[in-house]
Structure 1
């Protein structure tokens, strides 16, 4: 039995995102470290006291989502078997390197903070992302070409995230609605992630990663997937190249999920925040168990679920 661990991207931050992980001894060292990156604000207090706008600012959002994945992984380490498959959605790919043992957890938080800073420096005012479901890939490509935008993420089931200027995204939204049927949602993200508008950030992040300490292969035998093609990381150098390129290239999330299935994944655990990734798995493989940490009331419940579905 093989577990696939999914690390979420930005957009699903919420007040109770650390309800299960905030007080566990195994993750106790991570919260003070994250606080040093959040202006000395404890992340557990930050998510409860700050405005929704503050929670969804690019840098804070990336740190919070990465912290959640790392804290959950630390809390559940004894229940996660060696050889797990680990995939991350958008910034979740950096978290996946930490969860999979390629980066040390405190280093992962430092790296993701600098990633966000590089992205913010390269971002043009008004850039963002929009989600579109219900149009074919060809229709989405044509809309992007017409309005000067780009596909940022390819999800299963004709679902796409599109990045560009607010003017371009508004034009796409109007045109898509006129085509009848599609679901269109503005995402609470302030950058055109995974498009060429952030090419300068990819270059900057690759320079940052030159000083990163990477343990390859990871001690626990995890298979960490690259977001831009769904392929397992074959070496530290090529993996870092892809991790940097991902900022300005389309994330092939549908391919990542397919790669998990082809590698024999029999259960999927999303570390959160949110349920979006596990819901995608259930959409394409309703016969397989797939849940998010947010579905559970306790870590013991997560451990029991893992034991049941991994045959321990």
Structure 2
């Protein structure tokens, strides 16, 4: 049996997310050690509904959460064979895989957010769409001047672009196609053409990090290829800022590589739900489904036995 850890991106955070880790003996120590590396006020910012969704705070906080949970699972004897991350979660995935130390991941997360904020146009955002064939979503997105940022499945995508264009498209999709649309609490058009100026600065940041070879493979969001080499990690991590992520393909490749269990290490369970939808025959859970890390680890050990 083989475990694939899933590290989420923005939208999964909540003001109580780090309080939960601080109250769990399995994660409290690691959280206390790592939190200062995510910013002097990381714990207070995470608990503030007005700030925890801001791009510059959200990205380091989500990486902090994933790294603390990953360390706790490892201490409980749970070891993964593969790691995948959704958007900024892919950066955290390299920490979970052992390719980057936690401090480097958190520094890079802050730099990633800054690079995106520096070039993101005002009044832009992201929109989740369900219930319409992906080909039709792509065509309507192009007609409205927005990009498909993430492909989550055959009828599920996330779009990015100017907020006015997203609002107009949301009305069309809901009224004329019966789609379920949700405006995401993300103020930058991630994984779209508008962030192309952020790619080179972030690549330079990544290239300067203390990469370690011989780690677990990480599935690149832009290509679903398993990545181990630092040079390839730098290229795919930076390119994804302005390119579509094919998350559906990432899940498929994980299964092709032998994954039999998915586990999400973030504060929500959206990735676990998507894994179950895509591969209903495989167990897929999230820490959010359990009362404690110890409970989650016990479940994982049973699945992997």
Could you tell me whether the CA contact under 8 Å between 2:21 and 2:31 is conserved in 1? no
Name segments (4+ residues, structure 1) moved above 6 Å: none
Indicate yes or no: 2:230 matched with 1:236.
yes
2:218 — aligned with what? 224
Cα deviation 1:149-196 (Å, max 9, x = unaligned): 100000024100000001110111122123232100000000000001
2:157 — aligned with what? 160
Could you tell me whether the CA contact under 8 Å between 1:151 and 1:162 is conserved in 2? yes
Decide which of 130, 135, 141 is 2:127's aligned counterpart. Answer: 130
CA distance in 2, matches of 1:138, 1:42: 41
RMSD across aligned positions (CA): 1.7
CA distance in 2, matches of 1:255, 1:232: 12
1:249 — aligned with what? 243
Could you tell me whether the CA contact under 8 Å between 2:26 and 2:294 is conserved in 1? no
Question: What is the TM-score normalised by the length of structure 2?
Answer: 0.94
CA distance in 2, matches of 1:189, 1:60: 12
Q: Secondary structure at the match of 1:179?
A: helix
Q: What is the Cα deviation at residue 36 of structure 1?
A: 5.0
Q: What is the Cα deviation at residue 27 of structure 1?
A: 6.2
1:28 — aligned with what? 29
Q: What is the Cα deviation at residue 144 of structure 1?
A: 1.6
Q: What is the Cα deviation at residue 32 of structure 1?
A: 5.0
Decide which of 49, 54, 60 is 2:51's aligned counterpart. Answer: 54
Q: Aligned residues, how many? A: 304
Q: What is the Cα deviation at residue 292 of structure 1?
A: 0.5
Could you tell me whether the CA contact under 8 Å between 2:15 and 2:52 is conserved in 1? no
1:10 — aligned with what? 10
Q: What is the Cα deviation at residue 42 of structure 1?
A: 4.1
1:67 — aligned with what? 64
Instruction: Map 1:301-312; keep pairs closer than 5 Å.
Output: 301-311=295-305
Cα deviation 1:39-58 (Å, max 9, x = unaligned): x2142x4333x1x2311000
More displaced 10-residue stretch of structure 1: 152-161 or 140-149: 140-149
1:144 — aligned with what? 141
CA distance in 2, matches of 1:223, 1:255: 16
Decide which of 261, 268, 273 is 1:274's aligned counterpart. Answer: 268
Q: Secondary structure at the match of 2:22?
A: coil
Query: Which ranges in structure 2 are unaligned for 5 or more consecutive residues?
Result: none
CA distance in 2, matches of 1:29, 1:309: 25
CA distance in 2, matches of 1:252, 1:131: 14
- Assess, with a 3 A threshold, how the Cα gap between structure 1 residues 46 and 53 changes in structure 2: closer, same or farther: closer
- Assess, with a 3 A threshold, how the Cα gap between structure 1 residues 135 and 62 changes in structure 2: closer, same or farther: same
Query: Which ranges in structure 1 are unaligned for 5 or more consecutive residues?
Result: none
Could you tell me whether the CA contact under 8 Å between 2:9 and 2:86 is conserved in 1? yes
Question: What is the TM-score normalised by the length of structure 1?
Answer: 0.92
More displaced 10-residue stretch of structure 1: 14-23 or 176-185: 14-23
CA distance in 1, matches of 2:235, 2:93: 15
Could you tell me whether the CA contact under 8 Å between 2:76 and 2:294 is conserved in 1? no
